[in-house]
Every structure is written in C-alpha cells, then in structure tokens.
C-alpha cells in the first residue's frame, strides 16, 4: 500500500449506494463538537460519519469506539507499528474512556489475518470460571435461578480476566513497536484526566444505584455521591499505576503479582462475594484456536469459534441464505423474513449445542456442513414466518444430547477493526459483559460479570445444559469479530457490541456490504431489524420500524426498541474504507 498525505490525511469519498442520509441513525452523544480540539482528522472523520460517507485511506486504518483511542492507534500505525501494536494502545485507552464496555478486567476474542503467511487465526482471551465454581453458582438455596442483577452485582459473577494476557500475546506474536511506549499515552491520559463524554455521563447516571454498591466504584463514578457530569475531567491514578506495571512487566502483575492480589481481594470482599482465587489467576492462559470459516457469495467469512457462538451462528445464517435472492433490499418484507427465520434457525442450534468446546463436544463441522444447511434452508421456502423453530440434528463425531437454553447476554462490549501498512488485519471484540460489569473495581479498573453468560440452570428436565457453569470453563459468547476473505485475501473487517444481537448486527452489515452494495459507513448506520427467538426487534425511530405492519402480516410479533450497536468496519481493496457506528462515539482514522 502506498503512503498518501502528511499526518492523518483523510480523503472523504462520496456516498454511493441505496441508503440515503435521511435513513441514517442520528449519532448518540457523539460528534465533532463533543470531541472538539482533537485535530482536523478527528473533525473530518466525524463529518464523514454524519454524511454517511466512509473515511478513505491508502496505507492503514483504525476504527474504534472512541476518538481518544482512534487517535492513539493512528499514531502507532503512522509510525510503522503493526495492527497488533495499535490494538494494545487502543485497548488500554478504551478501558479508561469507555470503562463500561471493556478493559483490563474483562476478556476479548481476536481474529487475525497475517499478511506474511496468508493465514487467519484466532486468540481466545475469554474469562474462565474459578475452580471453586459449581453448576449451582447462580441458584438460590432451593435450586432456582437468581435474578439477573442479583447474580451480576458483586464478586460472584467475576471470571478470570483475559484481556491483559491476550494483549501481551498478540504483541509478542505480531508486534514491532516497543511495548512500554504503546501504553504510555493511556498512562498520561489517566494521570492528567479526560473529559467525560455525554454517553459516559448518561450511562453513569442511569446506573448510579448499582454503581453505588461498591465503595471504590462509587468513589470513582459518583464523587460526593453525585454521578460524574458531562465535561468533567475524570482522573484515574490507580489505573495509571496498574498500566505502569503493565508497561514494565507485561501481564504478569495481573495474574501473579500485586494487581492479581487486588483483584482477588476485591472479588472476595465484595457484597455478594465471589470464589475467585489467586490460583485461578495464576493458571490462566490465552488459547490459539483455528478460525471458523463459512462460504457466502464466493467469499469466506471467518471468525471466532467456541466458546464463542459468533462464527458458527454467522456462518449458519449466511449459509442458510446462500441459495436465496436478497437483492430486493433491506426494506423488502420477504427479504427480512428470510434473514429473520435463518437467524431463528441458527439461534435454535446455538441454544442447544454451543459452549466451551474444551468441556463439551460441539459439532462445529456438522453445524456448518453444506448438506445440513441446505436441508435446513428448505424451511425458508414458504411465504410466511416459521410458526415454530427447533434445533436441528447436525452430524456429531459421537452421540450426545443437550438441553435447550438461553443464557442472558447483555448489550455492552466494544469492537476494534485495524489494518496496518503491512497488510495485517485485526478484528477484536472486547468486553466486561454488562454495562460496568460486576460494578466492582480493583486497581483502577472494573471487573467483568462474564460468568453470568453461563446458563443459570445446569439441567433442564434432567438433561444437562452444554453452557452450564463448570470449574475453569469459559462461558459461551456471541462476540463475532469477523474477517471476510475473497480469493485468499481479506476484503472486510467487521464486528460489533450488542449482547446476543451482535450476531444479527454483524450479519446485517455483511449482507449490506456484499448483497446491497452499501459502503461501510452506510452498512454501519443502516437501521436494524433483528430476530433471534421469534419476535422481530425493529430499531425505533428509523425506517426499520415502518416495516412493522408488513412483518406482522407475515406472522411475526414485532417490538420497536433501541438497538445500540457499535459496528466498526474496514473494507480492504485498492483503497481502505472505514466506517464507524453513528450510535456511539467512534470514528475511523487512516492515511
């Protein structure tokens, strides 16, 4: 790729395609005015997002959920760093400026395309259950499931964080820049303070009661008992100190050192205490896993396999749709019927079969087998919504029976897409699960509530649930970091937050780009229509909600609601095109 411009030169392309600016979702607490004074590149990126246009670059690009993080990632890439280097710098900033979504107390899945080898691989930095955890972790004395927030708030829901170890491993494998220098900008920002964005201020105010349940968390987010205000300068000396240790010693302090001790003390000393121990942290490891890929329209769509359900479900939905014509576009009711019922079929299989494959056999090949999908796709051939959807019977390498279940998965999280000047591509989805996680802080960062992604029931009618709690197990996820390949080369990096709706958000963006010809900014902004279990969720206040009568006529129940995705896409070809979801604060920057 050739270099163009000086600094962060951004050429803004015209918006071709079917989506008109009037159909775009208005930005949620994000715009050049909110992050004014950060430079011409940031202003230009927000202006492009507002117009529904992608950011264009020739050499490298980063798309992420906050302009502070995007700027730091852009600087690393401009100075010759790799996508792995930028990933480290971006994540440690995100953990400071959008702490409700991700950070050093959480976990992540990374899908990586290595330009030198031409190989797509994945790193599993998912949290693990403590060794003392039992299948009844989230049940009361009578064996009944706890209420969701009764399980979430406090130490009980905290799993071993994986993000620090994943960042270190990614840098060791694919980084070029000096490690400590990647972390210095976040240390400085934590020490000097950053301006609280409208989005963060609103989320703190909405969750003030739960944030007040932990003294350290309350002191940080509710100083003097009052939620931090928009525009206030928020400093985090404890986080800066943790990052200094990270810069000096890598991930070790988080797993065997002083930070590990603070994590254990916070979990065990919290209200609703957990069973996480020093041993649990010490034995944690990131796992390299084979990418899970499925064909679609002459492409290979590659993502994260178990313990994520993302790549399997995305691959199933696209595979079920392969033989159907979607060219009528997103406002056609029959197209939405096909996509919605394909999603329902995938979610039925997901609910029965998907879990941590280190603990239970998961029929990944069977679920994505073309013959299996072709047979299931026949169910889509009618004219009306499917009246009932059940799991299929994919080929297993041996017999197994699991019970159906649907674990609760809340829509927080963050996604990062990066392409470097060497041709490497990183697509990473990162999370602490629910907004503000467990609401417990240690060493300046929030701890996850990832264990509530397990099923609260261990058995249904005497049949075991695949995604039940077990010691050391990783909970099922819907995070779907994705790289789309064409003829062995990457052409798109995409992913989103959004709980189990991540799968639908990611599928829609891929179809919007490949089937409907939308540029990546249009794909990020287009109104959402998502169906997981039968009810069609339509994004309120958008043209998607206008489809309600047509979908009801096909037999669906519909529900107009907010659907706050956080899609970040980079299209890769003769040039790079970046798009950032207008529902959040992110931007794409490139050169």
Cis peptide before 307, with omega less than 30 degrees from 0?
yes
pLDDT of 457 higher than 50: yes
> How long is the chain?
591
Catalytic residue among 82, 122, 217, 413: 413
Q: What's the pLDDT tens digit per position in 334-367?
A: 999 999 999 999 999 999 999 999 999 999 999 9
pLDDT at 8: 34
Tens-digit pLDDT profile for residues 380-403 = 999 999 999 999 999 875 545 666
Per DSSP bridges, beta strands 299-303 and 292-296 are: antiparallel
pLDDT of residue 36: 73
What is the predicted pLDDT for the residue at 274?
97
Question: What is the per-residue pLDDT for 16?
Answer: 28
Instruction: Give the per-residue pLDDT at 460.
Output: 83
| pLDDT confidence tier of residue 220, bands split at 50, 70 and 90 | very high
| Span of 94-98, 395-399, 515-519 with lowest mean pLDDT | 395-399
Helix (H, G, I), strand (E, B) or coil at 15: coil
The alpha carbon torsion through 167, 279, 152, 314 (nearest 10 deg) reads 40
The radius of gyration computed from the CA coordinates of the chain, to the nearest angstrom, equals 22
**345 — alpha (psi -120 to 50), left (phi > 0) or beta?**
alpha
Span 134-184, pLDDT tens digits: 999 999 999 999 999 999 999 999 999 999 999 999 999 999 999 999 999
| pLDDT tens-place string over residues 97-114 | 999 999 999 999 999 999
Adjacency order of strands within the sheet including 529-531: 529-531, 536-539, 558-561
Confidence of residue 449 (pLDDT cuts 50, 70, 90): very high
Q: Residue 37's pLDDT band (boundaries 50, 70, 90)? A: confident
Nearest to 304 by CA among 426, 472, 403: 426
The structure's pTM equals 0.93
Average pLDDT rounded to a whole number, residues 83-108: 97
pLDDT at 404: 60
C-beta of residue 187 within 8 angstroms of C-beta of residue 194: no
List the Cα angle 111/116/117 in 5-degree steps. 70
> What pLDDT band is residue 5 in, cutting at 50, 70 and 90?
very low
Per the annotation, the verdict on 390 as an active-site residue is no
Query: Residues 291-332: pLDDT tens digits?
Result: 999 999 999 999 999 999 999 999 999 999 999 999 999 999
Biggest alpha carbon distance in the chain?
66
pLDDT of residue 7: 34
Comparing 464 with 520, which gets the higher pLDDT? 520
What integer pLDDT is reported at residue 397 of this predicted model? 57
Least confident of 120-124, 250-254, 411-415: 411-415
Q: Quick one: pLDDT at residue 32?
A: 53
C-alpha 219/C-alpha 189 separation (Å) is 19
- pLDDT at position 459 is 84
pLDDT of residue 564 exceeding 70, the answer is yes
Q: How far apart are CA 471 and CA 476, in angstroms?
A: 14
DSSP characters over 151-179? HHSSSTTPPBP-HHHHHHHHHHHH--S-H
Taking a C-beta distance cutoff of 8 angstroms, is the pair 468, 457 a contact?
yes
DSSP 477: B
Q: Is the pLDDT of residue 504 over 70?
A: yes
Q: Write down the CATH number for the domain with range 11-193+235-288+408-553+558-590.
A: 3.60.20.40
């Amino acid at each position: 790729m050739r270099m163009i411009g000086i600094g962060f030169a951004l050429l803004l392309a015209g918006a071709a395609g079917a989506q008109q600016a009037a159909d775009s979702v208005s930005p949620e607490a994000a715009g050049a005015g909110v992050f004014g004074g950060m430079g011409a590149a940031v202003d230009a990126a927000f202006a492009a997002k507002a117009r529904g246009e992608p950011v264009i670059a020739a050499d490298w690009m980063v798309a992420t959920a906050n302009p502070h993080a995007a700027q730091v990632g852009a600087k690393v890439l401009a100075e010759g760093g790799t996508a792995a280097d930028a990933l480290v710098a971006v994540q440690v900033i995100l953990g400071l400026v959008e702490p409700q979504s991700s950070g050093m107390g959480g976990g992540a899945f990374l899908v990586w395309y290595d330009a030198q080898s031409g190989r797509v691989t994945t790193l599993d930095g998912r949290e693990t259950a403590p060794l003392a955890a039992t299948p009844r972790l989230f049940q009361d004395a009578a064996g009944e499931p706890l209420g969701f927030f009764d399980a979430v708030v406090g130490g009980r829901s905290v799993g071993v964080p994986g993000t620090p170890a994943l960042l270190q491993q990614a840098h060791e494998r694919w980084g070029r820049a000096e490690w400590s220098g990647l972390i210095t900008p976040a240390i400085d920002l934590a020490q000097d303070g950053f301006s609280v964005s409208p989005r963060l201020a609103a989320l703190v105010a909405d969750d003030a009661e739960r944030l007040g349940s932990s003294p350290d968390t309350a002191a940080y987010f509710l100083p003097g008992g009052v939620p931090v205000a928009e525009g206030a300068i928020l400093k985090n000396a404890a986080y800066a100190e943790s990052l200094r240790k990270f810069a000096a010693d890598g991930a070790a302090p988080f797993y065997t050192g002083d930070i590990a001790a603070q994590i254990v003390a916070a979990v065990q000393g919290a209200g609703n205490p957990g069973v996480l121990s020093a041993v649990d942290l010490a034995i944690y490891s990131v796992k390299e896993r084979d990418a899970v890929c499925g064909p679609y329209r002459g492409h290979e769509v590659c993502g994260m396999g178990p313990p994520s359900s993302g790549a399997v479900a995305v691959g199933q939905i696209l595979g079920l749709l392969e033989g159907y014509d979607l060219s009528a576009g997103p406002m056609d009711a029959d197209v939405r019927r096909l996509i919605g019922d394909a999603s329902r079929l995938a979610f039925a299989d997901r609910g029965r079969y998907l879990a941590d494959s280190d603990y239970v056999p998961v029929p990944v090949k069977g679920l994505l087998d073309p013959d299996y999908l072709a047979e299931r796709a026949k169910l889509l051939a009618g004219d009306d919504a499917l009246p009932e959807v059940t799991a299929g019977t994919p080929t297993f390498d041996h017999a197994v029976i699991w019970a159906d279940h649907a674990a609760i998965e809340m829509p927080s999280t963050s996604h990062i897409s990066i392409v470097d000047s060497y041709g490497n591509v990183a697509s990473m989805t990162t999370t602490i699960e629910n907004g503000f996680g467990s609401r417990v802080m240690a060493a300046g960062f929030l701890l996850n509530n990832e264990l509530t992604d397990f099923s609260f029931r261990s058995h249904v009618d005497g049949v075991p649930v695949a995604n039940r709690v077990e010691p050391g197990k990783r909970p099922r996820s819907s995070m779907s970091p994705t790289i789309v390949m064409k003829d062995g080369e990457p052409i798109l990096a995409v992913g989103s937050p959004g709980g189990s709706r991540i799968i639908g958000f990611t599928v829609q963006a891929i179809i919007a780009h490949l089937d409907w010809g939308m540029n990546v900014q249009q794909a990020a902004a287009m109104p959402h229509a998502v169906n997981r279990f039968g009810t069609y969720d339509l994004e309120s206040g958008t043209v998607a909600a206008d489809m309600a009568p047509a979908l009801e006529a096909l037999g669906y129940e519909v529900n107009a609601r907010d659907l706050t995705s956080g899609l970040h896409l980079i299209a890769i070809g003769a040039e790079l095109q970046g798009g950032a979801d207008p529902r959040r604060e992110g931007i794409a920057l490139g050169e």
